Amino acid sequence: MRNFLLAALLSALACPGQSTDDHARPNFAEDVASILVRHCAACHRPGEAAPFPLLTFEDAKKRAKMIARVTGDRLMPPWHAATGHLAFVGERGLSDAEIGTLRAWVESGAPEGPRDRSPAVPEFPGGWRLGTPDLVLEMDEAFEVPADGPDVYRNFVLPLGLDADRWVRAIELRPSARKVVHHSLFFVDTSGAARAQDGQDGKPGFRGMGFASGAARGRRGESGDTLGGWGQLGGWTVGMTPQFLPDGLAMPLPRSGDIVLQTHFHPSGKVEHEKSTIGIWFGEKPKRTLTAIQLPPLFGALWGIDIPAGERRYEVRDSFVLPVAVDGVSIGGHAHYLCTDLRATATSPDGDEIVLLDVPRWDFGWQDRYTFAQPVRLPAGTRLDFVLHWDNSADNPSNPHDPPRRVRWGRESEDEMGSLTLQVVCADEADLPALRAATQQHVADGTRSRVAREAKQRVKELDDDGDGKVAIDRLPRAWRAIAQRADANSDGMLDAGEIDKADLGGGLRRR
């Protein structure tokens, strides 16, 4: 009862023109419908990601109790960034008053009210969220997603065939099998490598997640974007609202070549057929270049993520000092099921800290990218600290393993990976080479320390007599070339001191 009165009071405060009495017994037509249209209908309508529509009185009445519960717990509308920090574009969320109205409506029996006062259900433009695209590409043939079994990662090749190079302001994916498409990363391939693999196993596209690194490496020279985040051209995830890049920003799109959709499917128990369509919106060449700072780089591959079974709070953090001033444009995280929370802060040279993104309850199913409502100026010398946590205990309801198993870095969704990616433009475009040099150095440093860590681990494992040294010819073959370079006193033995002093840059590639 107290909650009920509080709800009524809050609604009354939110709508001072109406008497408390009206709002103590809110009805669908006058009070509830407008909330559902504004905050729910984007997903809860036919053909969209949510499992049922919430447009009419009948839709809402059937699920009234559930609506009160999920809104009261702030599970719906889905929005995982903590509020009270920087504002983001398209922020989803209900006010306390709106939550109170929904609760009061349910508690008073979910009445319909005067049907003619109900707001008209808005027209949703024919599918595309951003209006009519400049270019629409569609898969030739549908890909069959099995009913069950492990997650499927599949790459689909869409030839571009443009008359000129273009700049892209937005790409929107429209999956045909929304129940099973978890996310999709967009790449450009100008090498023909993707096309050559397409359909080789008799099905549309080709399997695996290896393409991403190949594409990134192939384009490294051009874009310098070695810390790249959501692929080269962005991505799509369940529940995401596609957006134009802000401030006239755009991504380069070469005239020839192919767009590759790297799609992650999560089987639903029923065979599904996916025939993706993408819409692309073109713009002018931007004055400033969008670039990405991903910490830890390469989704944590260099950090040797290795989470013991039962570990409740496994942490990965990485820091990076900006060599030049930048404007933060957007930020997003990526991790798998076991991740519990992630957070990115920026500390100015004066010691002032701002929270760039705080996701206190990470949910694998909702991987959003958050665009700042205003660009965030970060002066040269600002330190970025990005941190992620994982819970590999049986108490984590998202743990795919029962009982928990040791989980290491890997590309399948039951492996783990994790990082946050901040997209920026340099405050002064002339500073771009300096920023890229620093981010590339950061990857090189990460590579070096990973190689050192692993080499020391091997030495420890093989050091039977406990003298801290191991004969190089006892090391696994893959490590010998690195060990020979590191063997400073040329005694054919490797020890931890030599590993610390060795130049191990690029060691991973040599393995």
Q: Does 53 bind ligand HEC (CB under 6 A)?
A: no
Q: Residue 60 or residue 302: which is nearer to ligand HEC going by CB?
A: 60
| Consecutive H or E run containing 386 | strand 383-390
CB atoms within 10 A of CB 366: 15
Strands laid side by side in the 277-283 sheet: 135-138, 277-283, 166-174, 251-253
Q: The tokens of 94 are what?
A: 């209900």
Residue 244 backbone dihedrals phi, psi, to 5 degrees: -75, 145
Question: In which residue are the tokens 């090749």 written?
Answer: 157
Q: Are 164 and 200 in contact (CB under 8 A)?
A: no
* Residue 307 · residue 338 · CB < 8 Å: yes
CB 291 within 8 A of CB 381: no
Alpha-helix residue ranges (DSSP H) falling in 108-238: 193-197, 211-218, 220-223
- To ligand HEC, the closest distance from the beta carbon of 16 in angstroms equals 23
Q: What is the 3-state secondary structure (H, E, C) of 297-326?
A: CHHHHHHCCEECCCCCCEEEEEEEECCCCE
> Which of 51, 84, 351, 403 contacts ligand HEC by CB under 6 A?
51
Site for ligand HEC in 365-394 (CB under 6 A): 365
Binders in 443-502 for ligand HEC, by CB under 6 A: none
C-beta of 100: minimal distance to ligand HEC in Å?
13
Q: Looking at 32, 33, 55, 67, which residue binds ligand HEC (CB under 6 A)?
A: 67
What residues from 239 to 278 belong to the interface with ligand HEC (CB under 6 A)? 239
Count other C-beta atoms under 10 Å from residue 259's C-beta: 23
13 binds ligand HEC (CB under 6 A): no
The distance of closest approach from Cβ of residue 178 to ligand HEC in the complex, given in angstroms and rounded to an integer, is 9
Q: Which is nearer to ligand HEC, 76 or 81 (CB)?
A: 76
The pair of structure tokens assigned to 276 is 């993706």
Interacting positions 71-130 with ligand HEC (CB under 6 A): 71, 76-78, 92, 94
Please select the residue that binds ligand HEC; options are 50, 260, 293, 472, rule is CB under 6 A: 50
As measured in angstroms, the least distance from the Cβ of 419 to ligand HEC is: 23
Q: Which is nearer to ligand HEC, 365 or 433 (CB)?
A: 365
Residue 442 has, within 13 A of its CA and on its CB side, a CA count of: 27
H/E run at residue 412: none
Q: Which stretch binds ligand HEC (CB under 6 A): 48-56, 307-315, 395-403, 494-502?
A: 48-56
Q: Which of 29, 32, 40, 139 binds ligand HEC (CB under 6 A)?
A: 40
The yes or no reply on residue 49 touching ligand HEC (CB under 6 A) is yes
Binding site for ligand HEC (CB under 6 A): 39-40, 42-44, 49-51, 54, 63, 66-67, 70-71, 76-78, 92, 94, 238-239, 365
